[in-house]
Structure 1
Amino acid sequence: MTVKQWFKSGSPWVWLNAGAIAISMIMVVGLLSLILVRGFSHFWPAPILETTVTQPDGRQVQVMGELSRSQTLPAEVLRDAGVDIPREINLVTRHLIKQGNRDVWGRDFVWYPETGMEEWRFPADAMRLERRERGDFFGYPVRLMEAGRTVAEGDDLWPELQQRVARANDIFDEIRRIERREIGSVNQRMERVRLDERRLEMDRRAGRIDRATQEEAMAELEARRAELTQEFAVLQERLDTLYQDVRRDTLVARVSDGREVDLSLAQIIRAVKPNDMSVVSKMGLYVAQFWDFLSGYPREANTEGGILPAIFGTVTMVFVMSIIVSPFGVLAAIYLREYARQGPLLRMIRISVYNLAGVPSIVFGVFGLGFFVYFVGGAVDQQFFPEALPSPTFGTPGLLWASLTLALLTLPVVIVATEEGLARIPSTIRHGSLALGATKAETLWKVVVPLATPAMMTGLILAIARAAGEVAPLMLVGVVKLAPTLPVDGNFPFIHLERKIMHLGFHIFDVGFQSPNVEAAQPLVYATAMTLVVLIVMLNLTAISIRNSLREKYRSESD
């Protein structure tokens, strides 16, 4: 076979397509593997090393911490950066050590060249303290203090420290529960009383109520405020007691240069000795740290702690978006396919829908900010929440507007998928239903739509996949760096659509590009990206399983 015949046979294009698909699969699998490996490895307890580094001026620096990564660079690069490297050395390996102790050293990640570095040691009694503020602490435990007196040291220190850290964490959890739930509930009810008083004043000025009615209602509200004030005072007294109790214990620790520092147990989340742990113990610690990452709240400008608010915000927004986009997309597709008269106008509408799917997402964000937030939200505030003005209730970015913006963004996907599903239903089924005496509406809703349900679910799957990963429009219509409260709680009306939320996609952007501590944030970028990928896969698998069950159901019924 000649080359010309080979090209005419189409074999080159088959191989070209196969090669392109293979390359795409390799790139996708490679990217996912990188994210999963870097993400999961972040939680494995690394060993603590200790070494001595001799500086060019002869000074010796005691270094202690975890190895973050290593690099081999030309010596000239380090010389240009001001590092004194002997001229006879051409290549230099340097190590990035996470030495922690930000309150002691000023910075917790430092590069050290291998030249002048002694052999690494891994002392069994070296400890790592995970703290609520100022990052991790590396050092040696010396003694445990309670109210200024020594309660444990030597061999008895570590077991006693573990018990007291667990006790301090329990007290701290109780403090956070009171602050976020009970005091938060009191504050919300106090704000409701204030708004009710302002509403009465507005009604009195507008002539809707008389002065006697206003004074009677104001007296009831004043009594309610007095009750809430008393309730707040009781909670504040409990908080003061808990804070005093959690701050009673102090750990005296020694850092690498021999200095001793005092650490309050109220700031310690976990104390471990990785060099003295077995593989089973490390696996248990790995699971505990991974669970804390998924169920905890962020700390230290999102560079530490957990991502629970971001996970919750992402899932909540996707569910609200799905509830909004599904009926509108399906009804629009049914009208365009089943009821609208075919002609130039309908073709123009379809072309507009297809073009809408290609509009940059940030354009939808600008539209959502201008129309949903300022126009619709401002009108809602004027009509239903005038007593809260000028502080906006719905006239500010929030969960509802973010969901509506994403619903508008994914609406073309649902419309196109549903139309294609309706078009695949054979006309003979419609004719058979009509011949049996069913009306057009009965044929549509009882025969055609159920058979097209798998295609509708396909559109919803594609919409979920796109919406869960969008970031640009959400930055304008409701997603923030740190949301103080979740959009769902125990206070009426329980689901607060006006609140701002956190999002995994924006969290990745913020941690990766806006973090003040880049080295500490880098592992969290992979861990959060891993969580987002797994979350999208779980949402898609759930929708796919529903679609497949519906497909099997209607297939069996048709047989």
Structure 2
Amino acid sequence: MKDWIKTGSPWIWMTAGAVALSVLAVLFVLWMTAARGLTHFWPKAVAETTFLEGDQRVRVIGEVRDREEVAVRRLQEAGFKIESSEAFVERVLIKMGNRDVTGQDFRWYPVPLLGELTYPADLLTVERHEWGNFYGHLKAVKEGDRVVAEGPQAWPELQARVQRAQALFRTILRIEKDDIGKVNYRIEQLRLRERRAQLKGELDDALKADLQRQREALDAQFAQLQEKLQALRTDIARDSLIAEVADGQSVEVPLAKVADVYQANAMSTGQKIGHYLRKFWEFLTDDPREANTEGGIFPAIFGTVTMVLVMSVIVTPFGIMAAVYMREYAKQGPLIRIIRISVNNLAGVPSIVYGVFGLGFFVYLLGGNIDRLFYPEALPAPTFGTPGLLWASLTLAILTLPVVIVATEEGLARVPRSVREGSLALGATKAETLIRTVLPMASPAMMTGLILAVARAAGEVAPLMLVGVVKLAPSLPIDMNAPFVHLDRKFMHLGFHIYDVGFQSPNVEAARPLVYATALLLVILIMVLNLAAIKLRNHLREKYRGLESV
């Protein structure tokens, strides 16, 4: 045994076992996140049953979302009349929807007080832009005050009219966000231009007349768009559906408020797969709604990727220049050793400290002075003196700078001294040797630093809450309005979206599946960014492999 221990084999097996356990733990986390998140988009069967409430039975309609065992005594203390010889009974969580009718979205029901669960094919699931899901038996479809279909003919008629309403809704949304947004942006630019000329004393009658002509043209364009919007809103409000809810009353739902409608109980497997893929695509490409608990997360994806790219553009050159100076030019001594120790210590500083620094230095000090010097016409409304994409990217660049510096220094240290001496012997200057020989050979290490920086920056939340991220951003940081890239705008981020939906949501049960789905998407996004950087690093490593053996 002693001889076996001396060979080092136990430590090898221990290391291999630790790596295997780590891989299994990561795979388990990914599997759990995927299992809880990706199933959210599958069409859920809608059950109908009865519940013994007091001395009478009431009808219940909804989706069975969860099951658990609970103590009978606890239920009895809550007022349920349960007689059971067992200490524990099962209860189910039913998503009843119809929040505007019943006042609650989810409710736990003890199984002994429930009747038999049935799944009628005509039960309707209506996803609304507001108030969440609606469940009921479809009775009729109306056009204005006239019933156009009822009974078996109501469902195909409803599908056609919902498609029409969805097309009108997308048109209205495009006009509101793009067309009217562009007009409002140009009107605001005219106001700032007038204010700027006034501050400089250049606002003469000719400029006033020119600005007035442009403003009148924009006002006329705005009025035309508003007239078009009003016509579309009147058109989309034409149709509605009538459904019978659990308490027996008939409720009318305007199709203008309907995001989607389907009969999950009557779907075939192929239809469910098609529905699943469509809903997942909507999750990736649509804007959020209902306090981020429904809809898509495209602005959060866009904001995360944009911030990471801007941060990478900032941190990479500064990190490389700092590492090159300390390794290639600075005289090695106590001062450089202190700087290296400081850089290593910065890597362990809590991220919220960087957020406080970014808020105080970048936003208030630097941004405030930029506003006073370059954007006085916008004051007192801040332009750069408020949290935004630029300050968030700079804050995370400082946060990840130590990682890039250390990785680049390690790469420069691995370049053989003979390569430098050979280049200098052939007549190259020190700068030419560095740029054409040393840096290309150290580029895989630089990419390693960038990979680590991207992985950390994409998952940070605490500093972003102070320097730019918001719950809901009305505009993307990149659009078709000049100058096209708006670094002063606030943005959405996947990490903050997870925090907001999971802990600040008014409807926690409805938001829980989206937390897992968004978390899985964030992990996938980080993996994609890292794989792209790893591929580039491997390409550079193969390209300069021959030089390393010189």
**SS of residue paired to 1:366:** helix
* Aligned-residue offset at 1:23: 2.7
CA deviations on 1:48-102 (whole Å, 9 max, x unpaired) are: 11111112x2121211111110001221232344433326341110000011111
CA deviations on 1:160-192 (whole Å, 9 max, x unpaired) are: 111111111111111111111111111111111
CA deviations on 1:498-519 (whole Å, 9 max, x unpaired) are: 0000000000000000101010
User: What's 1:38 paired with?
Assistant: 36
The CA distance in 1 between the partners of 2:527 and 2:22, in whole Å, is: 18
Residue correspondence of structure 1 range 381-460 to structure 2 within 5 A: 381-460=371-450
The partner residue of 1:298 within 260, 280, 288 is: 288
CA contact (8 A) 2:441 2:548 kept: no
Q: Which amino acid aligns with 1:44?
A: W
The partner residue of 2:197 within 177, 197, 200 is: 200
Q: Which amino acid aligns with 1:518?
A: V
- Runs of 5+ unmatched residues, structure 2: none
The CA distance in 2 between the partners of 1:459 and 1:510, in whole Å, is: 30
The CA distance in 2 between the partners of 1:155 and 1:75, in whole Å, is: 44
The CA distance in 2 between the partners of 1:160 and 1:557, in whole Å, is: 72
RMSD: 1.4
User: What's 1:238 paired with?
Assistant: 228
**Residue 91 (structure 2) pairs with residue 94 (structure 1):** yes
**Residue 470 (structure 2) pairs with residue 472 (structure 1):** no
The CA distance in 2 between the partners of 1:527 and 1:433, in whole Å, is: 53
**SS of residue paired to 2:248:** coil
Aligned residues, how many?
A: 549
Residue correspondence of structure 1 range 540-555 to structure 2 within 5 A: 540-555=530-545
Q: Which amino acid aligns with 1:179?
A: E
**SS of residue paired to 1:483:** coil
CA contact (8 A) 2:441 2:547 kept: no
The CA distance in 1 between the partners of 2:123 and 2:394, in whole Å, is: 52
The CA distance in 2 between the partners of 1:405 and 1:7, in whole Å, is: 49
Q: Which amino acid aligns with 2:174?
A: R
CA deviations on 1:243-298 (whole Å, 9 max, x unpaired) are: 00000001111112221000000111111111111111100000001011111111
The CA distance in 1 between the partners of 2:448 and 2:353, in whole Å, is: 25
Deviates more, 1:152-161 or 1:371-380: 152-161
The CA distance in 1 between the partners of 2:427 and 2:513, in whole Å, is: 65
Residue correspondence of structure 1 range 532-547 to structure 2 within 5 A: 532-547=522-537
**SS of residue paired to 1:115:** helix
* Aligned-residue offset at 1:557: 7.0
The partner residue of 2:173 within 176, 184, 192 is: 176
* Aligned-residue offset at 1:7: 5.4
Residue correspondence of structure 1 range 255-404 to structure 2 within 5 A: 255-404=245-394
CA shift in 2, pair 1:262/1:84, >3 Å = same
CA contact (8 A) 2:89 2:110 kept: yes
**SS of residue paired to 1:393:** coil
The CA distance in 2 between the partners of 1:81 and 1:403, in whole Å, is: 51
The partner residue of 1:120 within 117, 120, 124 is: 117
**SS of residue paired to 2:283:** helix
Q: Which amino acid aligns with 2:150?
A: E
The partner residue of 1:22 within 14, 20, 23 is: 20
**Residue 156 (structure 2) pairs with residue 166 (structure 1):** no
**SS of residue paired to 2:58:** strand
Tell me the TM-score normalised to structure 2 length. Answer: 0.97
**SS of residue paired to 2:545:** helix
- Runs of 5+ unmatched residues, structure 1: none
The CA distance in 2 between the partners of 1:95 and 1:116, in whole Å, is: 11
Tell me the TM-score normalised to structure 1 length. Answer: 0.96
Deviates more, 1:540-549 or 1:365-374: 540-549
The CA distance in 2 between the partners of 1:410 and 1:151, in whole Å, is: 62
* Aligned-residue offset at 1:431: 1.0
Q: Percent identity at matched positions?
A: 60
User: What's 2:45 paired with?
Assistant: 47
* Aligned-residue offset at 1:558: 6.9
CA deviations on 1:315-338 (whole Å, 9 max, x unpaired) are: 000000000001001111111110
The partner residue of 1:146 within 126, 143, 146 is: 143
User: What's 1:510 paired with?
Assistant: 500
**Residue 175 (structure 2) pairs with residue 185 (structure 1):** no
CA deviations on 1:324-368 (whole Å, 9 max, x unpaired) are: 001001111111110110000000000010001111000000000
Deviates more, 1:369-378 or 1:158-167: 158-167
* Aligned-residue offset at 1:413: 0.4
Moved over 4 A (4+): 5-12, 556-559
User: What's 1:530 paired with?
Assistant: 520
The CA distance in 2 between the partners of 1:327 and 1:82, in whole Å, is: 67
